[in-house]
Amino acid sequence: MPHATTAPVQRHRPRWWTELPLIAVVYALYSAGRLLVRGDVATAVDHGLAILHLEQTLRLNAEHPLNRLLTAHPSIGVPADFAYASLHYVVTPAVLIWIFRRHSAAYRAARTWLMTSTLLGLIGFTLLPTCPPRLLDAGHGFVDTMAQYSSYGWWGAEASAPRGLGGMTNQYAAMPSLHVGWALWCGILLWRHGRHPAVRAVGVAYPLVITFVVMGTANHYFLDAVAGAAVMGVGALLATPVARLADRVTARCRDRVAVRFPSRFATAGAGAGATVVSAGCETSAGERIPGQRTSSADPIDAASPAASGGTATAGDAPAAAR
């Protein structure tokens, strides 16, 4: 008798028409939250100076030499400004789409990780508004390269926003650096799921390049970058519990809808649970499937000798009984 096999459980493949609105809503909440949590400028400046003094005490102050490098060499400073103003919004969605299309089994965990970390970053902006180095008093030795090279790009003197739209951004949301955090997310996914060595090399280089860019353009301190990486680490730890919580909430909402509309769910369940073995074809009582073996107790077979008028003899016995 052949052993029964269990069909593998198929994972639900995410669908773009449900994922896209979800991502849009989360990003809209994140963008709106950054605007609503603008803190006092004086408090943000105090926090920025405290970070700068701590770095100087720890001898971690690499922002000044990098900023002077970009300021003195437009061939480096202009590409760095373009990278700061654009890659944050291009590479991250591109990697998310790549995971969705090529590695759908890992997509949900990656998306949950990214969203959880982004919301944690928003909490950081709320609790610790921080003035970036470029907005400190000139006496601290920083130059705003975005303003210096504004004629090369679409941005003005107010961060990377298009000219005239600087008021729609929160320029004091420097801690943590989600430029670095999102770049680290991209790098880990490229390294983990990339099959070609060049893809994995990009996964290593991209977070390092973004860290160089955010510090050289005087948009973030080194500790901002460290905090961005830490936020992504915490987000990775919380991704599984958050996904489970989302599943529970979804199941509870589905149950409530089922209670409210029982007939609709009963019809759907019956259609999904019914299995027609004969694929809708009916067979008569005496009809056999070709190749099917019958038992000796089959009344048709047992009655066939009598029906033919013959008598059973020893020679008619099955070979197994001899």
Summarised one tens digit per residue, pLDDT across range 13-49 is 666 556 666 667 666 766 666 666 555 788 899 999 9
Pairwise pLDDT comparison (55 vs 250), residue with the higher score: 55
Q: What is the pLDDT of residue 243?
A: 87
**Rounded Cα distance, 196 and 102, in Å:** 14
The per-residue pLDDT for range 304-321, each reduced to its tens digit, is 444 444 444 444 444 444
Backbone dihedral region for residue 200 (phi beyond 0: left; psi -120 to 50: alpha; all else: beta): alpha
Distance from the Cα of residue 285 to its chain's centroid: 56
Q: What is the pLDDT of residue 272?
A: 46
Collapse the DSSP code of 190 into the 3-class scheme (helix H, G, I; strand E, B; otherwise coil) and give the result.
Answer: helix
Q: What is the pLDDT of residue 1?
A: 46
**Rounded Cα distance, 74 and 143, in Å:** 13
CA 171, 175, 180, 182 torsion-angle sign:
negative
Cα 36-40-46 angle, rounded to 5 deg: 130
Least confident of 69-73, 92-96, 293-297: 293-297
Give the global pTM: 0.72
